[in-house]
Structure formats: structure tokens, C-alpha cells
Amino acid sequence: MKSQRNVKIVATLGPASNDYEMIRALFEAGANVFRLNMSHGDHEEIRARHAIIRQVEKDTGRPIAILADLQGPKLRCGVFANGPYELEDGTAFRFDLDDAEGDHTRVQLPHPEIFAALEPGSTLLVNDGKIKLQVEDCGTDYANCTVIAGGSISNRKGVNVPDVVLPLAALSEKDRKDLEFVCQLGVDWLALSFVQRADDVEEARGLAKGRAAILSKIEKPAAVKAFDEILAASDGIMVARGDLGVELPVHAVPPIQKRLVRKCRAAAKPVIVATQMLESMIESPVPTRAEVSDVATAIYEGADAVMLSAESAAGGYPIEAVTTMHNVALEVESDSTYRDIMDSTRSVKRSTVADGIVSSAREIAETTDIKAICCFTQSGSTAALVARERPRVPIIAMTPLVDVARRMCLTWGMNCYLTGELTRFKMAVVSAARAARDAGFATETDFIVVTAGVPFNVQGTTNIIRVAPCDERLIMSTDME
């Protein structure tokens, strides 16, 4: 029987992965989702990559998810007259709105929203947190600071404000244009940067108008504090550990990652663990042991997906990076400890008919010789509930809607198949049996569990569970219409 990998792999595209041959090779190596980073590349480059992915999808006959990652507002300081300058610990430094070139005592910070939110005692971080300053006094157009941790400051370095909620929208004007462009293009997921509150998610949802699912990136302390509300408003989550590690102490990030992954699992919403997972593979064909352990940890936690950023976008070994993730996942998921963790961390409050049916499907599959759980889904919600159970057998999601099949490629364990419009339950069971055999999960002598809703093609009607043979002759002679 065919073995499968449950955790999904997200691969970012870029200069190192820009043509058909490479993108197809990444897909065949194990990538399930391709990320288009809107911080890099113009619309024509994005359009070209999108077209290649859809061609690979057509040529392989398997759905592929496309994730467009919006840049979000970028906070940067101004320019210096004769920089860079070294800021010494304990010295004074001023940020203001004056557009005059800076020196070792001050520089422009062209973001009045920051000054409006600062208070004495607030922290400012510059250059990915390498420089730390504390605000001593401030006004609507300045902040006088003391350098707590010095370093080199130069033109347009990034500025982070970790301990205040900034009165900034998560969507800049560029983001709004990019969002409309990729929605018209036809992406499946929108990753929203700089999320601080649930309202940020709702704003993006209003602009997307149902054309793409919304995935919130958790990269700011404010988002961690408001996580329950953000999760409720989102279709999925990305734990963006790079920015979290700048704005929070690095030792705080692992427990946050673990907590957020568990909450996403309980909510049956996909969660990606991202940033610096195999960072050394940008320049090396093999990862460090610590990186392998990091990827394994995310998989042991039950994350839906792990992500490659520069490793696949700009590195020298993109295929090797995807292959490494794939192999780590296979090793982890074959470990008995992994199954013990999945079973012991299954904390679900079941309150609907669908909850009960998918729970029963898992229990039947795991206590008898069932080869797969096949679920018919119109919106993807039933399939997500099956995935939340983290069953020991493969999940086959059947849907007539290509956009639903593509979005489900981000969800743990999901094997997505397109069906025609079905109106009879017997033919649905036949389709499920064929899919299980075609996928290599079952033979004619095996059995599967089928979940569906009658009437067909209506969201939220999951009300049937059936143990079915994979022999179509038996289905036709025994199953109800």
C-alpha cells in the first residue's frame, strides 16, 4: 500500500525557482502550496509564476494551492548624511519627522502614527532588533530615546515597535492594489501581514469578497494577545517566527508556537509554521541538525504545514530543501511517539452532527481494517473536521469545486480529488472507492469509510456515514440509491 505524508510543504517562489522545470520539480519533490511573496517582484512576474503553477497543475492532474503573501506596512527610518553610524550604549538618540539627513544624534522616522502611539518607557527596535532604544519623552513629532543596546544604524533600516498597538491598518495602499490583482488572477489563499486585531482580518475579507481564503500572519505581540479573536476571524494562521523573534524575546517564541498550533488544531483551521526552518540550506545542500529538529518539532506539534522562504526562493538548493522537509516528515510521522502525541492532544468540543460523524469515522477506521476515510465536501469544512481528528488512515476529500480542492491542499493529511456533480449517494460511494484505489490506498478487497451529506451540493449537510467495499460490484448490488 502507498505511504503518505500528512504535513504539507509550502515553498516560496523567487529568482531560484522561476521557470516551469524548477516549479514542477519542487512539486514532484513534495511541495503542496506555492507562496508568491508580494514584497518581491512586480505584477508581471507574479502573473508569470501563477501561470506556470497552473500549468504544472494541469499537466500533473493534481490540485495545487497558491498563497499570495501581502507585504504589509513597512516601518523604516530615514537616511543619514554620512552613515552608517555606531550608536553607543547609554547615549541619547532622537527620532522625528524632520526630513533632513540624519547623523549620530537623530534621524527621521516618517511615520506620525508611531509617535501618536508611543509613551515614555516604550521600546523601539532597529535593524531586526539589533539596536534597542527606550523612549524617555515623546510628542506628536518626536521621540527622545536612550540607547539600551547599540549597533550600526544606516539608511532606511526597519523599525519595530513591540509593546504598543500601532494605529496602522494592516493593508497599505500597495497591499490593496496587490490584493485586488492576485484575487483577479485567481490565488487560493491571502496571507495578511502586520495583523494586530481581528478588524484587520475583516477588512481584508471585505476586499477579497470570497475570492480567496484569509490566512493571518502572527508576527506581532499584539496579535499574540488578541489571538483568539484573530483566529475566529481567519480561515488559517501562519506562525511567522522571524518577526515574532524580533519583537519578543527569542525564548518566548517556542511556547507561543506550540500554544497557537494547538488552538488552530482545536478550531479545525490550518496553521503554517514558518521562517528560518532550513535557513542554512540557502547556501548548503544539507541542513544543520538543529534545523532538522526544528522542522520535526513543528510536525510533532501537529502543524498543518511547514514553510520554506529564501531556501526555495533564492537559495542554491531549492529541490534539496523540499526533499529534506519531505523526508523529515516521513520519518516523524512513522514514529509511534508521533501517533501518541496526535492522540493525546486531540481536544475537541463536539457539538454538531458533523462533529459526531467525523469522530465516528475516525474511530471506525482505527478499530477495524479500514484503508481510508473519504469525505464529500462542498466548502471544505467537513474535510477540515476530519483532519482535526488526525486519523491514522489517509483522508480523501472529494469535491466538485476546483477552488475548494486547491484551498484544502494546505490542510493536514488532505488528498484532494475533483468529482463531477453528484446527486445519488450510491454513485458517491463508487467515486470514493475509485479514488481510494487510484490513489493506491486500497484494493478491491478493502473497505473505506465514506461521509457525505444528503441532499448533495449543499453546505453544512453532513449526515451520513457508510462503511463501503472498494469493489464497485458490491456497492452497486448492496448500496441504497
**65, 42 Cβ separation under 8 angstroms:** no
Task: Say how far apart CA 475 and CA 426 lie, in whole Å.
Answer: 7
**268, 388 Cβ separation under 8 angstroms:** yes
Please name the amino acid found at residue 250.
V
DSSP letter (8 states) at residue 88: P
Signed CA dihedral, 109, 110, 112, 114: sign only: negative
Whether 217 sits among the annotated catalytic residues: the reply is yes
Whether 54 sits among the annotated catalytic residues: the reply is no
The residue from 5, 8, 24, 35 that is catalytic is 35
Q: Of the candidates 159, 176, 223, 158, which has an alpha carbon nearest to the alpha carbon of residue 70? A: 176
Q: Where are the beta strands (DSSP E) in 3-112?
A: 8-13, 33-37, 65-69, 85-87, 92-96, 106-108
Helix (H, G, I), strand (E, B) or coil at 51: helix
Whether 275 sits among the annotated catalytic residues: the reply is yes
**399, 422 Cβ separation under 8 angstroms:** no
The residue from 8, 24, 132, 217 that is catalytic is 217
Instruction: Read off the C-alpha cell for 341.
Output: 502525541
C-alpha distances (whole Å) from 178 to each of 46, 190, 329, 398 are: 10, 10, 33, 32
Signed CA dihedral, 150, 151, 157, 162: sign only: negative
Q: Of the candidates 121, 126, 115, which has an alpha carbon nearest to the alpha carbon of residue 85? A: 126
Task: Say how far apart CA 370 and CA 387 lie, in whole Å.
Answer: 16
The packing angle between helices 318-333 and 289-300, to 10°, is 50
What is the phi/psi pair of residue 473, to 5°? -65, -40
Whether 35 sits among the annotated catalytic residues: the reply is yes
Within 10 Å of residue 480's Cβ, how many Cβ atoms? 9
Q: Cis ω on the peptide bond leading into residue 167 (within 30° of 0)?
A: no
The residue from 12, 123, 275, 382 that is catalytic is 275
Helices (H), 139-252: 173-185, 198-208, 221-225, 227-233, 241-247
C-alpha distances (whole Å) from 77 to each of 96, 182, 402 are: 10, 30, 45
Q: Of the candidates 211, 256, 221, 226, which has an alpha carbon nearest to the alpha carbon of residue 129? A: 221
The residue from 76, 176, 346, 434 that is catalytic is 76
273 beta partners = 239, 306
Active centre residues (catalytic):
35, 76, 217, 275
